Structure 1
């Protein structure tokens, strides 16, 4: 028996079949035409790398701006309320400390004593804080109902300034005294005009784009009465603050831009005429511009601003120390009022000044978030008006004490001495806190409803699964 392995017949082609290994075919290299010289890497990426770098940098910058804008516009509805409350309380504490530091030296030996001015300011701060919390927890419908009565009281208070109850301070007749209580009715009028204007513009809706609905009744007769009484008392600085936040509210409501151009030209012409009609204002503007040797007059209209700049310059970065200011020793007139920021800069330095500015920025950020997140027109317009009032007045005061604007007598919100002003600022923040509290509750309800929906769906799916199992059972046989 032949135990040899049987011989396999040859294939038809006469060769043994072999396994073929399929390899990935490499792409054919296509080089440049024979006539063109070979390109180097530098020649190929001469402009491409630069364009890619610029595009990447532009995209990164755009993303950073979008992230910042999203942070500023939306934020967290749960923290906006506390952002407003914390910044307002911190600014109030800063103001009380600086009022005590600026007035204790000059008040020594007086009837009220070294702490007299501070105690009055602290009393008004307590009243303002109570009002702020009451307004913050008040139902929103009550704020709407209070808009018209507040407007009537604001106009009535400004009218009382022209009666024997009113008196003049530093050339401006804008104070009233009822028994032991005195204050500025214009501060109450600021809150009243914000609430009332926001309510009226919200009810008008798209009609505000028409000229007649823009003027009546917001400008005529509402704001016109307030401006008339304020200018009658020669308080141009307060009139500028009113005009600033009223323009902001009209802009947000949808008023056409060409109306603002006409109103701006009219306002500038009116301000120039009012300045020329008052010799005191004319000389102050000349001193600010450095013309006609206004600083060499016996009254020395440059003295206050120069001493304020000396105080800011001597503070340095860390400051000379709390309570250690030199300029408050009868060098800066009204150091506790309009020029209190110079004392703050001298004692706390650039670090303290920047801290106060950051607190104002945090307050503005919280108000901006409330306005941007709100879907109700009245809330949006009113919040923008309060924000423009507080931040606009802050800008005017800081520009005044640093020499960017002439001295026009506008106090610094929350910091300057003045009980009625501090109370009005705190109550205004309380109005915005009311809106922020409502948004926080709405966000909590949405979160709870979103959490409850998956649970309901899971429960429904479980019951349907059980019913499916039961349906698959074999029916019982009889």
Structure 2
């Protein structure tokens, strides 16, 4: 074969080979390299996966708690709802609507870039102040002002304040992390932010909200880098303020809550019998549940013995119906939620994500512990709801929205998903 023909044939073979290689390479690049924007969109669209997917175990735990909470809320409320509203399904239907809205918001926020909240944290704090001010000028109920009516449900500004406190201190501590050992970057902001929020809650009054926000403030500042010695200083300031308010008779509402504390089963007068009525019946419910419970729907104390059993004292009905074993299983699920949330948060890609996730998850653990202590008379009856169980639109929606942010953090967490 002539050299010229051999060269032409070789050129044709090389051209065909190059076209085949180019086609394969183009296919690979179409999938992984050439269109990064399209690839990012695909990853963002993934719901459960490694990498950009949200954490499946954490999501399952949330939905399990929400489902159990919905069942128990209906079981605890149907007699009370029929007596007061003429409809046994009154609270269930409303709570289902709130749950659907909350779950929708949760999944939407799971795709949201949580770092965008970093810059708007002071704005969110200002909005919480505005809501706390607005509620003070609205008509109250039974001597307290805690809700802003919005048609089908009410907004409780204290729920917004809890989130605002967590968000602001996550922003502040991550921004000044290397300076948090100094009092002016830790103690001073803590006093200003917590003190101003506590003052507005004091005017409602809402002392349980002050307690929860106070604990959250300490937790956020401590994990944010504040030195341990400043905790004693802060505690001393709080004790001093409480003593001043007590001396000036400014804690009359709080002192009324202390009446009968620890005396639910040891009342000596008719007045004390009525004062401890709710807590005493809560203890009766817990005691009658025994080890295995009376059975789902079989509670006796929910028949108008425990006032508003769908709210703060719902766990007493849970123990009565499911027993100690069922109650411990529910508490175990709560513990798994807190553990998983903190684990995800600790492996977030940035300091802000770590602090935000730990704070949002810790809020659930704090409220569960305080609620259990209240219904067992270890703490005064201060009105602390049980997450995912107690009836309430704004609290449930806000709680699920916050869990959506934790799921958003889980998308970038350095953790292996099974």
TM-score interval (norm. to shorter): 0.7 to 0.9
- For the pair 1:241 / 2:215, whether they are aligned, the reply is no
Q: Name 2:279's counterpart in structure 1.
A: 305
Distance 1:307 1:84, change over 3 A: same
- For the pair 1:398 / 2:372, whether they are aligned, the reply is yes
- For the pair 1:251 / 2:222, whether they are aligned, the reply is yes
Could you tell me how far apart the structure 1 residues matched to 2:267 and 2:368 are?
Answer: 27
Q: Which runs of 4+ in 1 moved over 6 A?
A: 76-80
Aligned partner (choices 327, 349, 352) of residue 326 of structure 2: 352
In the TM superposition, 1:172-321 aligns within 5 A as: 172-220=144-192, 222-271=193-242, 277-290=250-263, 296-298=269-271, 300-321=274-295
Could you tell me how far apart the structure 2 residues matched to 1:80 and 1:137 are?
Answer: 9
How many angstroms does 1:286 deviate by?
Answer: 4.3
Aligned partner (choices 293, 302, 322) of residue 328 of structure 1: 302
Determine if contact 1:84/1:429 at 8 Å carries over to the other structure. no
Determine if contact 2:291/2:323 at 8 Å carries over to the other structure. yes
How many angstroms does 1:251 deviate by?
Answer: 0.4
Partner-residue secondary structure (3-state), 1:298: helix
TM norm structure 2:
0.80
Distance 1:141 1:282, change over 3 A: closer
TM norm structure 1:
0.71
Could you tell me how far apart the structure 2 residues matched to 1:154 and 1:127 are?
Answer: 21
Unaligned runs of 5+ in 2: 1-49
Over the residues paired in the alignment, what is the CA RMSD in angstroms? Answer: 2.5
The superposition leaves residues 177-213 of structure 1 with CA deviations (integer Å, 9 ceiling, x where unpaired) of 1344312011112112211220121111211211111
Distance 1:272 1:234, change over 3 A: farther
Could you tell me how far apart the structure 1 residues matched to 2:190 and 2:253 are?
Answer: 32
Determine if contact 1:154/1:189 at 8 Å carries over to the other structure. yes
- For the pair 1:340 / 2:314, whether they are aligned, the reply is yes
Distance 1:297 1:183, change over 3 A: farther
Unaligned runs of 5+ in 1: 1-75, 445-478
Determine if contact 1:325/1:346 at 8 Å carries over to the other structure. yes
Which structure has the larger Rg?
Answer: 1
Determine if contact 1:390/1:413 at 8 Å carries over to the other structure. yes
Larger displacement relative to structure 2 (273-282 or 150-159) = 273-282
Q: Name 2:62's counterpart in structure 1.
A: 88
Distance 1:280 1:373, change over 3 A: same
Query: How many residues were matched structurally?
Result: 364
Partner-residue secondary structure (3-state), 1:168: coil
How many angstroms does 1:112 deviate by?
Answer: 5.7
